[in-house]
């Protein structure tokens, strides 16, 4: 089964979906985003809204209750929400990476068991890859899952996991054969849950460590998972029913994550540009609006061109995802360029705003704090450039 079989929707249907998102943002998100952000408060009501809007099943096939949206439509939704409050997009992005792994690689039994629960938001989660000593180098993970009869017994620690504390489960990258060579052949992916999906009773052997304090990306919880003798049923939890395919699954799940990160970056850049254009026309120096000063015009011109270029790269990556096949290069290019653009545009916006940009009364300081994460999340930009180069050579062999 393909990772994603997007439903064919008309332009009018897409417009209706985007309109409903816009209304929700205006009526529900905008009035509370600043307070929740500065208080680093979990947005419980907005999470419930997102479940009702179907965002936890946005790209899950309709046969499991999802909306089955194309990555193109999905990325446009992400851009809109990220313009208002980027943190919200991370709550369903991490969740959808987990769902994508199950949809693409899971057995039919696993899809039927997990995906309907993911779609409703009844079981929310993320992707459990990063460890204290393993980030971009996924093959360096130390979390181990040992087969014991019909179960796996898991021991290890994961960190920087989105939805770890307020969520319920994660697609966990583990070593099922720690001695395998090359290392990636000994890696598998498990669905692990803090609660029994049917009875909702807490399970033993799995706990959360501390909630991680962050520069930006407030509201969403980033935390630790600690596994100490945690047991899960192999039939339901070993994704695909076969060991040794976890590394492939992890990288497959990251593809839609990188499209999401790129779309978030565009949302940040668009908001920074929009605020800057408005401010530049109202703020006056030397007897005229600063928008009439050439120094500001040069900044706005660069910001506008790069923001639009980033948006087009996101559309290119999303279309490639919808077409099927590998999109390492397309997703890498979009993620790299859009995230660097977000940082540059947010920084220039702060300079345009001057001292007011540094104030918490304005949204600029939040955009300035949120943007750098886009260069790190779902694979560093240094790694993206290497991936782009390798794919460029692979696709143009001589």
d(Cα 234, Cα 243) in Å, to the nearest integer? 10
Per-residue DSSP letter, 135: S
Residues 6+ apart with CB under 8 A from 174: 141, 143, 144, 145, 152, 154, 156, 187, 188, 189, 190, 246
d(CA 119, CA 113) in angstroms, rounded, equals: 11
Q: How far apart are CA 266 and CA 272, in angstroms?
A: 10
Parallel, antiparallel, or unpaired for β 222-233 and 151-162? antiparallel
CA dihedral 245, 119, 367, 375 (to 10 degrees): 10
What Cα–Cα distance (Å) separates residue 307 from each residue in 209, 300, 332, 377?
A: 38, 10, 17, 19
| SS3 per residue for 299-336 | HHHHHHHHHHHHHHHHHHHHHHHHHCCCCHHHHHHHHH
Distance set, CA 217 to CA 42, 230, 240 (Å): 11, 30, 33
Calculate ∠ Cα 292-293-294, nearest 5°.
115
Residue 308, sorted as left (phi over 0), alpha (psi -120 to 50) or beta, turns out to be alpha
Positions marked active-site: 378
CB 200 within 8 A of CB 117: no
- φ, ψ at 325 (rounded to 5°): 85, 180
Cα–Cα dist 314/283, whole Å: 33
Q: Which CB contacts under 8 angstroms, 24+ apart, belong to 372-376?
A: 372/215, 372/216, 372/343, 373/214, 373/215, 373/216, 373/217, 374/261, 374/264, 374/265, 374/268, 374/335, 374/338, 374/339, 374/342, 374/343, 375/339, 375/340, 375/343
């Amino acid at each position: 089964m393909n990772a994603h079989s997007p439903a064919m929707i008309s332009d009018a249907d897409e417009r209706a979906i985007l309109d409903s998102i816009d209304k929700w943002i205006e009526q529900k998100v905008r009035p509370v985003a600043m307070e929740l952000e500065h208080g680093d408060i979990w947005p419980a009501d907005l999470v419930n809204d997102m479940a009702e809007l179907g965002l936890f099943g946005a790209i899950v096939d309709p046969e499991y209750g999802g909306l089955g949206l194309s990555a193109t439509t999905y990325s446009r939704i992400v851009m809109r929400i990220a313009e208002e409050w980027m943190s919200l997009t991370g709550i369903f992005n991490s969740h959808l990476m987990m769902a994508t792994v199950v949809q693409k690689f899971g057995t039919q039994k696993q899809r039927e068991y997990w995906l309907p629960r993911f779609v409703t938001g009844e079981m929310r989660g993320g992707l459990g890859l990063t460890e204290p000593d393993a980030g971009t180098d996924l093959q360096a993970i130390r979390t181990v899952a040992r087969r014991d009869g019909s179960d796996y017994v898991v021991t290890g620690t994961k960190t920087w996991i989105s939805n770890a504390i307020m969520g319920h489960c994660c697609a966990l990258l583990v070593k099922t054969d720690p001695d395998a060579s090359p290392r990636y052949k000994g890696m598998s992916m498990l669905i692990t849950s803090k609660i029994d999906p049917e009875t909702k009773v807490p399970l033993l052997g799995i706990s959360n460590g501390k909630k991680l304090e962050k520069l930006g990306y407030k509201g969403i919880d980033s935390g630790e998972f600690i596994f100490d003798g945690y047991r899960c049923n192999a039939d339901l939890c070993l994704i695909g029913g076969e060991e040794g395919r976890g590394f492939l699954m992890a990288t497959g799940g990251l593809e839609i994550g990188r499209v999401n990160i790129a779309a978030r970056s565009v949302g940040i850049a668009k908001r920074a540009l929009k605020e800057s254009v408005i401010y530049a026309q109202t703020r006056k120096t030397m007897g005229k609006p600063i928008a009439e000063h050439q120094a500001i015009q040069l900044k706005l011109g660069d910001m506008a061109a790069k923001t639009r270029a980033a948006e087009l790269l996101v559309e290119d990556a999303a279309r490639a995802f919808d077409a099927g096949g590998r999109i390492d290069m397309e997703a890498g290019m979009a993620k790299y360029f859009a995230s660097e653009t977000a940082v540059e545009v947010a920084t220039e916006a702060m300079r345009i705003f001057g001292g007011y940009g540094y104030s918490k009364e304005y949204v600029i300081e939040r955009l300035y704090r949120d943007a750098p994460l886009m260069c790190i999340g779902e694979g560093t930009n240094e790694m993206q450039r290497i991936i782009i180069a390798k794919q460029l050579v692979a696709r143009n062999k001589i």
